[in-house]
Amino acid sequence: MGDRPVELAHALDTLHAQEGVDLDVVLVGNGWEPKGLPEWVRTVHLAKNVGIPEGRNIGAREAGGELIYFYDDDASLPARDVLARLADVILDDPSVAVAQPRGEDPTGKPAPRRWVPRFRVEGGGRPGEATWFWEAVFMVRREAFQQVGGWPGHFFYGHEGIDLAWRLLDAGWHIRYVPSVVVHHPATSPARHEVFYRMNARNRVWVARRNLPAPLIPVYLGVWTGITLARVHDRDALRIWFRGLREGVSSDAGDRHPMSWHTVARLTRAGRPPVV
């Protein structure tokens, strides 16, 4: 959104320093016109902020390459082989769609749990097969991304990664978590965003309505309502959250493609049944 020029410059410097890969860099100005950037950066100017997932969709359509690396403007790459190592994970196995590195705060703050696609996050979490990924910094095979239709652009903010991960898994692809590859990103609370509680709830409903077999939808939403009540103690925040929940029920969630029961079983065997 053009409001982090110092961080963006560092992100681009560490991106340009990557070795072992050919880069086609596209920066999407989401509600701002990018100017004064290096000549090797192509830009897209969106007069209106279309939200995070749709901005990513536009960037993916503009960029070339067999692999797509989505990259927040306040992230950075602490080593020169980050992208090459992630690319190797995907290209070495034709069934792998996504490779996610481990996130670390460059100042030493503890990494948020949401960065680690594991229930147990000690030591950065174990490597291997995962059932979701952190959207801020990950690599995806273009073929897989396009097969499942890319990001749900209408989500604007929140849970778009769960939606994409479930569609990839239901299409037979695999997700790999690679904690030996590290990226830097500031550890911040998503609740700092004004729209967080509303879209957290609305999009949670949309994820369920779009992707789950009908019997699991009320179970999933019931579990997450309980988790939210246990976690959030601010009454104003809870009121906003429940308004978002009602909005998710009453509004258009987009195309519905419920996952197969085989995928439900696969997620359950991997330790992440699609009800939590």
pLDDT tens per residue across span 133-192:
999 999 999 999 999 999 999 999 999 999 999 999 999 999 999 999 999 999 987 766
- CA dist., res. 130 & res. 177, Å (int): 6
In the predicted model, is pLDDT for residue 35 greater than 80?
yes
pLDDT tens sequence across 62-120: 999 999 999 999 999 999 999 999 999 999 999 999 999 999 999 999 999 999 999 88
For position 188, what pLDDT does the model report? 84
Which of 77-81, 191-195, 258-262 is the least confident region? 191-195
Query: In three state form, how does the secondary structure of the chain look?
Result: CCCCHHHHHHHHHHHHCCCCCCCCEEEEEECCCCCCCCCCEEEEEECCCCCHHHHHHHHHHHCCCCEEEEECCCCECCCCCHHHHHHHHHHCCCCEEEEEEEEECCCCCCCCHHHCCCCCCHHHCCCEEECCCCCCEEEEEHHHHHHCCCCCHHHCCCCHHHHHHHHHHHCCCEEEEEEEEEEECCCCCHHHCCCHHHHHHHHHHHHHHHHCCHHHHHHHHHHHHHHHHHHCCCHHHHHHHHHHHHHHHHCCCCCCCCCCHHHHHHHHHCCCCCCC
Work out the mean pLDDT of the chain and round it to a whole number: 96
The pTM assigned to this predicted structure is 0.95
For position 276, what pLDDT does the model report? 86
